[in-house]
Amino acid sequence: MLYSKLFGKTVREAPSDASTISYKLLYQGGFIRESTSGRYFVLPLGQLVQQKIIAIIKDEMDRAGAQEMVSPVLHPLELWKETNRTKTTGFELMRIKDRRGAEFALGGTAEEMFVDVVRKFQISYKDLPFNIYQFSSKFRDELRARGGLLRVREFIMKDAYSFDADESAFKKQYEVMSKTYSAIFERMGFKTIKVESDNGYIGGEYCHEFVVESDAGETTYLTTGDGKYAAHQDVAVFKKDGKNLKEKLEPLKEVEANRGTTMEDGVKLHNKPLWQQIKDVLFVDETGRFILAIIRGDYDVNEIKLKHLSGAIDLRHATNEEIRKKINSEPGFISPVKIKERLNQPQITDERTKKIQLVIIADDSLRTIKNAYGGANKKHKDLFNMNIDRDYKPDVEGDIALAKEGYSTVDGKKLIEKKGIEVGNIFQLGFHYSSKMKGATYIDQQGKEKLYYMGCYGIGIGRTMATVVEKYHDEKGIVWPEAVTPYHVHVIGLDMKEGSVKTQVNKIYKELVDKNIEVLFDDRTEVTAGEKFSDADLIGIPVRLVVSKRTGDKIEYKKRDSKETKLISLDELLKLTK
RNA sequence: CGGAGCGUAGUUCAACGGUAGAAUGCUUGGUUCGGGACCAAGAGGUAGUGGGUUCAACUCCCGCCGCUCCGACCA
């Protein structure tokens, strides 16, 4: 490719509001341009990189036995209604109508579509297992796009869907995909961490994100120094150490507490440790039910875990007014002690449900302390010596604590908190879709219809490209790894007005092209050497070749990631670049 | 959706209650020619949009739209 003909060129400055390095460099290098928030043009250079990424993914997926196909991007809305996902997706569905008024969802993920195509065939156990996938545009009406290509509203994703006879067969498939993902990302030049994560509606242990450690990422995960444990903060578990378990139970008593509403206010006023306080957080779920989460004062509530334990789909914090009027308690002074009895007091009226439902969910850390203190459901009154079982009984008890840096794993290792970019995930779907969609079955050996067991596996292409740049760059620009570079060599012609140099460099360019080497040739004649070098560094192609008066019949060879240059002949070059 | 901020030339940014300016980029000519070199000439702006205040608005005020950041959210 002649650089003078390449659409999209380098610019000196990135937009001042560019927040991530990958966005700045991809912008300056002429790889992408923004259309509107979260939607990007991928320019020729960027598209070459995306195609390299796609080729690697395709190669590894095919090797793992998966088959590429394509589904429509407009999904009949009835399919989404079948699985009730018009309501429950995390991302806002984008809808569109055709001229007859038929409604479609713009695909953000394609489970329903793939089940739909599979059920168009009469599948038997002999057909299983199989894994089908596609590369296609995905639409997600994200609340907020951010970080250039890191979180967008429209992007190319590889999404794969596996179909198995049962869970044990699925486990094998899942393992294969896990290995395939590691291989894919390794080929692109990064080390991914396989992080346990939340799979929402299903639970279970099969859901992992492939994360590349980076401060630009949005994924917070906890890991041990040896890397043997890695889990998303949503699901990470840790050891809750016993505190004052030897203390005798003291009688419950109410005390004056002229304090503010924070945990620190309680610690200061009573001069007792934070961990001995009970933290009470009141939530409201999508049905209007109140959920009181209680936990040891030095821990925070993990809303994902709370959702699982409570069965809630959506949680929000209760308002101060709700706490006062509906629960008859006081913000900052909520207590599990006798709180349900307060609900029946006459001043509480709820015209809609008449009866207010309140569920108390306790973190098991409350078993690690005795004689806890905290609010008394009245302003400026606290309770001392609250003890679980004796003074309050939770409806549900379990783990709702948020893991953090410095806590220990169950086997005593220190947890380290890290940030990373989620480049891919593998996900157990189980019977979730096959049970909700009619005819999502296969015929087993006994001739009976059975639901198939599914999994899905996604990789975001643009995000992957941005992640490569986040990991591979220096102060001058991008440093593409061989596997995903837009071109393998960047030829710079200097002194191009000299006939002999021009002939020489054109010959070299032609020779390389004939040998099927991907080459970008900076053939501009009106541009200074310095500018060409800067552009080459910014674009980041791994090998730079310079031909000029000074190089004579040789070629100057330099790798992007090194400062060394050497003069070599064309033959040597062809050997080096293969 | 809540909070903060921004919107002026392709880009990065100025100034000013009295009809817009620089750098860079672009075009042309010339000098340079191995790390964004120099000189000269030129093109390029209905100031996001609508309204209000004012003798006068790019400037002040309000609505809308768009964008960025923080938060909420994130199969």
Asked if strand B contacts A13 at the CB level, meaning under 7 A, the answer is: yes
Express each pLDDT in A199-223 by its tens digit. Answer: 766 656 689 999 999 988 889 999 9
Task: Check residue A202 and give its pLDDT.
Answer: 61
Name A459's bridge partners. Answer: A158, A424
* Average pLDDT of the residues in A175-191: 95
pLDDT exceeds cutoff 60 at A442: yes
In single-letter form, the type of residue at position A3 comes to Y
pLDDT exceeds cutoff 90 at A343: no
Closest nucleotide to A88: CA versus each C1'? B75
* Average pLDDT of the residues in A253-261: 91
Express each pLDDT in A458-484 by its tens digit. Answer: 999 999 999 999 999 999 999 999 999
The DSSP-derived string for A138-190 is EE-B-S--BTTTTB-SEEEEEEEEEEESSHHHHHHHHHHHHHHHHHHHHHTT-
Helix, strand, coil percentages, rounded to 5, for chain A: 30, 30, 40
* Chain B, protein-covered positions (CB within 7 A): 1, 5, 10-13, 24-25, 32-37, 66-75
| A278 burial level (CB within 10 Å; 0-12, 13-18, 19+) | buried
Domains detected in chain A:
14-73+115-236+417-469 (3.30.930.10), 253-398 (3.90.960.10), 487-577 (3.40.50.800)
Contact A191, A197 (CB under 8 A): no
Instruction: Give dist(CA A187, CA A503) in Å, integer.
Output: 37
pLDDT exceeds cutoff 60 at A348: no
Asked if strand B contacts A134 at the CB level, meaning under 7 A, the answer is: no
Asked if strand B contacts A427 at the CB level, meaning under 7 A, the answer is: yes
The string over A298-314, giving b where at least 16 C-beta atoms fall within 10 Å of a residue's C-beta and e elsewhere, is: bbbbbbbbbbbbbebee
**CA–C1' gap, A575 and B73, in angstroms:** 53
Which of A26, A8, A9 shows the shortest CA–CA distance to A150? A26
Express each pLDDT in A302-326 by its tens digit. Answer: 988 998 888 887 788 888 888 888 8
pLDDT band (50, 70, 90) for residue A94: confident
Mean pLDDT of chain A: 91
Instruction: Give dist(CA A492, CA A449) in Å, integer.
Output: 65
Instruction: Give dist(CA A577, CA A489) in Å, integer.
Output: 8
* Average pLDDT of the residues in A168-183: 96
pLDDT exceeds cutoff 80 at A270: yes
Express each pLDDT in A479-494 by its tens digit. Answer: 999 999 999 999 999 9
Task: Check residue A236 and give its pLDDT.
Answer: 92
Task: Check residue A51 and give its pLDDT.
Answer: 97
Task: Check residue A344 and give its pLDDT.
Answer: 63
- Alpha-carbon separation of residue A221 from A192, A275, A364 (angstroms): 13, 24, 22
Instruction: Give dist(CA A323, CA A146) in Å, integer.
Output: 35
Task: Check residue A87 and give its pLDDT.
Answer: 62
**CA–C1' gap, A139 and B45, in angstroms:** 36
* Average pLDDT of the residues in A516-529: 94
pLDDT band (50, 70, 90) for residue A262: confident
pLDDT band (50, 70, 90) for residue A137: very high
* Average pLDDT of the residues in A55-83: 95
**CA–C1' gap, A15 and B57, in angstroms:** 28
Name A453's bridge partners. Answer: A164
* ipTM score of complex: 0.92
